[in-house]
Amino acid sequence: MISPPTLHIHLVSDATGETNHQIARACLVQFDGVRAKEHVWSLVRTRSYLDKVIAGLEAHPGPVLFTLVEPELRRRLEEACRRLEVPCIAILDPVLSALGSHLGLKSHGRPGRQHELDAAYFRRIEAMDYTLAHDDGQHVHDLEDADIVVVGVSRTSKTPTSLYLANRGYKTANVPIVPGIDPPDEIFHLRKPLVVAFTTDPTRLIQVRRNRVLMLKQREETDYVALEQVRREVADARRMFERNGWPVIDVTRRSIEETAAAVLQHLETGDNDNG
């Protein structure tokens, strides 16, 4: 049996891209026999990053769904799409009609079809199972099977971000960087997964950790919440990240959705070349 051709679809947003992702999925499942490859371009707010988007579009031409507020960015994206002769859709109203025209298919028009137990659903379940089994440095022997490996000091949103990415279908492991304890050697030799490092402002980190300590009803002060020790812990971790060439995301002022969008941005732009 001949596999159906792959439709490359580019989701371009100046925010997290969740709206694009949900609408693209809801529409694509209305067409039988279509295998889609999503290129997620989130937090597109500068001309330089839009240039990367256009380069990706040139490499894999296909429909563009976008949510961009900045007029100049919108204009440049639309011009690139006209040059490449691909649909450029400011999402919502024209999504179904434009995809139908591009694919030469008529949509089924059945609401809720995106909730059927399709291959994407099972990929998300598999990703969630993997992510739960590889939380907080567990089972490092098969990290090579991950799509993404998140590293960072304690309380930098590694687990919730990993679960969010798993729900998007990405097998995500997270490994803590603990003072005085060598990280597992496996993370320094990974070739396939994107290894991405989380950092944060030490003062904000102490606030988060103090809340955690209070929740656990622990009264004793420890290095875990001491300012100088935490500053040193964050600085030492940052130096490790830089030595290994891992992309670093500052999660201080980011929501989980924004952090995940930044991770996927690195994954899309090829920052996962660990060889």
Q: What's the pLDDT score for residue 3?
A: 66
DSSP state of 185: G
Q: CA end-to-end span of the chain, whole Å?
A: 35
Is the pTM above the cut of 0.85? Answer: no
Judged by average pLDDT, the poorest of 41-55, 176-190, 214-228 is 214-228
pLDDT in tens, 207-218: 999 988 887 777
pLDDT in tens, 82-136: 999 999 998 865 676 777 888 888 777 665 565 555 677 788 889 999 999 999 9
DSSP state of 107: -
Please state, in angstroms and rounded to a whole number, the distance separating the CA atoms of residues 54 and 218: 52
3-state secondary structure of 10: strand
The 3-state secondary structure of 132-171 reads HHCHHHCCHHHHHHCCEEEEECCCCCHHHHHHHHHHCCCC
**Judging by beta carbons within 10 Å of its beta carbon (0-12, 13-18, 19+), is residue 212 exposed, middle or buried?**
middle
pLDDT in tens, 74-83: 999 999 999 9
Q: What is the mean pLDDT of residues 12-26?
A: 88
Percent of the chain with pLDDT over 70: 89
Distances (CA, A) of 84 to 54, 134, 179, 221: 10, 42, 51, 61
Sheet holding 6-13, edge to edge: 35-41, 6-13, 64-67, 88-90
Q: What is the mean pLDDT of residues 224-253?
A: 96
pLDDT band at 275 (very low <50, low <70, confident <90, very high): very low
Q: What is the mean pLDDT of residues 227-256?
A: 97
Q: What's the pLDDT score for residue 195?
A: 98
